[in-house]
Amino acid sequence: MRHFTVHHDGVTIPVSRGGRGRPLVLCPGLNSTQADLHELTTLLRRDHDVVTFDLRGHGLASAAAGRYSFDGFLSDLVAVLAELDLPSAPVLVGYSLGADLAVHYASERPVTLAGLVLIDGANPLPEPFIAHADRAEFRAMAEDLAARQEVERARGTARQVVLTAQDIFDLNIEIDTVRSAILDRYRRIDRPISMIMSASIAGGSTEGRAPRHNRLWRAGIERLLSERPHVSTHWLDTGHQLVFTHAPDIAEIIRRAHPPAGRPAS
C-alpha cells in the first residue's frame, strides 16, 4: 500500500494505492469516504491496481474554504488523476455523486480512460428526483444524516464528513440539475460504460415517494439506453447502500467487465 496527499485549490486530498493488475480509480460519493468503501476496495485489489481517495470535507481530506459544489468535487477528481503515474489508462469507477463526477471527467478526457463503471449515480433523469413536494422530507433526511455524522466528526476518524445539513441538501438539489443535462455528457464518451444500479433506491415501500422515485430511477436508465444501447446495465435488488451491502456482487461485475490482463471480458 502507498499513501500520499494531493494539494490543490486550498484543500488536501488523501490518496491510497494498492493491489496489482489493471489500474482502477474509485471515486466515492456524497457522504461516503474511502474508508467506507474498504470492503469493495479490498475485493477489487485482488485483480486491480486500485487508487482510492477522499473528496473535500470527507474522511481525512480537509474542508473547503467556501461552499461545497459539484465543480469543487470534480476538481478533486481531476487533481488526483493528474498526480497519478499509471502504466496504462485506468478504469474509472464512481459511486453515487462519484459516478456523476466520473461522467463529467470522461466527457472532457475520454482518451485518458479505459472505461467507466457507474454505481447508482449519473442517471439522466427525465424529471427532477427532488420535486418541490419532496423538499421538506429531503431537508429532514439531510438534518438526520448530519446529526448522525457528528459522532465521527467528534472522533476525527477516517469516516467523518464535515458537511452541514444545509450543505447536503443544497448539493442534492445541485445534483438534480447536473443530471438534467448529463445525457449530453454521455454522447461525448466513446469508452465502455457499465452501470450498476439499485432497483429500490427509495426503499421497498408501496406508499409515499418510494414508488415514484423507484420508477423515475429506472426511467432515467431506460432514457440512457435508448440513446446508448451498448451501455451494460446491471440491476441489484437493493437500495442506494449497495456498495456496502453488495460489495462482492459489485466487485464481480467489475471483474467481468474489466478482467485481469490476459482474460477476455465476459
Q: What is the pLDDT of residues 176-205, one digit of tens each?
A: 999 999 999 999 999 999 999 999 999 999
What is the band of 156 on the pLDDT scale with cuts at 50, 70, 90? confident
Q: List, for residues 52-77, the tens digit of each pLDDT value.
A: 999 999 999 999 988 999 999 999 99
Cα–Cα distance measured from residue 244 to residue 5, given in angstroms and rounded to the nearest whole number: 25
Nearby residues of 52 by Cβ (< 8 Å), 6 or more positions away: 15, 16, 17, 25, 26, 28, 34, 37, 41
The span from the CA of 63 to the CA of 233, in Å, is 35
- The set of long-range contacts for 203-207, using a CB threshold of 8 Å and a minimum separation of 24, is 203/239, 204/239
What pLDDT score was predicted for residue 105? 98
Q: Measured between alpha carbons, how far is 188 from 117 in angstroms, rounded to an integer?
A: 16
Torsion angle in degrees (nearest 10) through CA of 236, 113, 102, 79: 140
Query: What is the average per-residue pLDDT within 5-30?
Result: 97
Domains and CATH numbers, the chain: 2-129+179-257 (3.40.50.1820)
**Can you say how many angstroms the Cα of residue 129 is from the centroid of all Cα atoms in its chain?**
17
pLDDT in tens, 216-258: 999 999 999 999 999 999 999 999 999 999 999 999 999 999 9
Question: With a threshold of 0.85, does the pTM exceed it?
Answer: yes
Write the CB contacts of 81 (distance below 8 Å, at least 6 apart in sequence).
Answer: 25, 90, 105, 112
Residue 117, SS3? strand
